[in-house]
Amino acid sequence: WNDGMDKVGEKGQGESVWLGFFQFDVLKQFADLARIYGDPSFAQRCDNEAAQLQQNLDANGWDGAWYRRAYFDDGSPLGSSTNPECQIDSISQSWSVLSGAANSVRAHTAMRAVDKYLVRRDDRLIQLLDPPFEHSDLNPGYIRGYPSGVRENGGQYTHAAIWAAMAFAKLGDRRRTWDLLQLINPINHGCSAGDIAVYKVEPYVVAADVYAVSPHVGRGGWTWYTGSSGWMYRLILESLLGLRVEADQLSLAPCLPPDWNTYTLHYRYRSTMYHITVIQEDGGNEEPDIGAGNADMPGDAPEQTWGDVQAGVVTDSEAKTMTDTNAFVVDCKCHFVIDGVEQKGEKIRLVDDQKPHTVMARIFVAPTRGAAT
């Protein structure tokens, strides 16, 4: 993804850190698929390759406070605090979480960096990378052809913005997840005539990108032609409302604001409708502690300043400012009642009997001490 970086590995020696995380996810999914289809040897091969890849990413992808984006053919890094431009890129951080490859400490630290350096709440956008490519000798490819702050070159690329929200949801950070959704939801860019004058495109469809450079900050890019609309749908339905369907098994693991008591889903399984009412029950108000997520990692670089972005380990005091009672909610259990009959377990089996079914799902959510995974 992000084909604008077409020069990073043009000689076949460069490597992508983010794509390593993506490949890890693909390998783990294919391992599960191979077991289902009775191919344990291929499943084991996928697991072995994933384990080796995870080890290499951990050893070579970490920059001190976030993950690097890639390595050029000559071995020099991209997305590093040592770079004059593109010191941090969001998708390496998001996919370190979404893939499950990053350990808890680094996952939390990486996403704190995204929140600090790439989320621009006042401008209602989430940058893909920062600082943009403009004056340095770095030549990642035709991404440099875009003006600084436009499209992939330091603007919001909506695929990546959605992945960031998904990553916060996976960490259980419900406040930031919904905060980011409000930033990137196109309807919120059309709430007034003034908003429309800035956004300039349709607020009822997803824009592929949003400009981040003056005097066009907040202007939408192309619309009606972006795969990020499908990702937005998945963010809302799967990451936030928590719907999970695997074959004929349905489960719920929502990431909801604490003041949401209930919501309703109407889900069609083949020719059968399931009317699902979800009730959220808060399990307590004790302030969570992200625990190990605050700790320094052995061998991490001392804190330094490079250009506009500060490198190094996030301190305990800084980490605590990003923690609140609405943040890392990691204990989520679900109890189902179908057509008045209590169900055992946290999944229900779907049947295509062409009859409507009423489902009551009680979600018990509790802030939990210790780092979320």
**Mean pLDDT across 175-186:** 97
Please state, in angstroms and rounded to a whole number, the distance separating the CA atoms of residues 229 and 278.
25
Q: Which pLDDT value is given to residue 317?
A: 39
Same domain, 117 and 55: yes
Residue 102: inside a domain, yes or no? Answer: yes
Residue 7: inside a domain, yes or no? Answer: no
What DSSP character marks residue 4? T
Kindly state the helix (H) or strand (E) to which residue 340 belongs, with its residue range.
none
8 A C-beta contact, residue 155 and residue 209: yes
Q: Of 168-172, 184-188, 207-211, 299-303, which range is least confident?
A: 299-303
CA-wise closest residue to 313 among 66, 79, 18: 66
Q: What is the mean pLDDT of the chain?
A: 88
Please state, in angstroms and rounded to a whole number, the distance separating the CA atoms of residues 265 and 243.
9
Residue 140: inside a domain, yes or no? Answer: yes
Q: Which pLDDT value is given to residue 187?
A: 97
Same domain, 201 and 255: no
Same domain, 270 and 202: no
How do strand 125-126 and strand 119-120 relate by DSSP bridges? Answer: antiparallel
Residue 78: inside a domain, yes or no? Answer: yes
Q: What is the pLDDT of residues 338-353, one digit of tens each?
A: 999 999 999 999 999 9
Question: How many domains would you assign to the chain?
Answer: 2
Same domain, 342 and 206: no
Q: Walk across the sheet containing 272-282 and list its strands.
A: 262-269, 272-282, 357-367, 329-338, 341-342
Q: Which pLDDT value is given to residue 122?
A: 96
Helix axes 40-60, 17-36, angle to 10 degrees: 160
Q: Which pLDDT value is given to residue 136?
A: 87
Extract the tokens encoding 350. Answer: 């779907």
Same domain, 173 and 71: yes
Same domain, 186 and 253: no
Same domain, 254 and 193: no
CATH number for 366: 2.60.420.10
Same domain, 201 and 259: no
Same domain, 317 and 333: no
Q: What is the pLDDT of residues 292-322, one digit of tens each?
A: 333 333 334 333 333 344 444 444 334 444 4
Q: What is the pLDDT of residues 109-153, one digit of tens each?
A: 999 999 999 999 999 999 999 999 999 888 999 999 999 999 999
Residue 104: inside a domain, yes or no? Answer: yes
Domain limits for position 359: 248-288+325-373
Q: Please give the backbone phi and psi of residue 228, each rounded to the nearest 5 degrees, phi first.
A: -65, -20
| Amino acid residing at 61 | G
**Mean pLDDT across 202-214:** 97
Same domain, 225 and 252: no
**Mean pLDDT across 174-183:** 96
Residue 121: inside a domain, yes or no? Answer: yes
Please state, in angstroms and rounded to a whole number, the distance separating the CA atoms of residues 128 and 275.
38
Q: What is the pLDDT of residues 18-65, one digit of tens each?
A: 999 999 999 999 999 999 999 999 999 999 999 999 999 999 999 999
**Mean pLDDT across 233-253:** 96
Same domain, 281 and 236: no
Same domain, 197 and 258: no
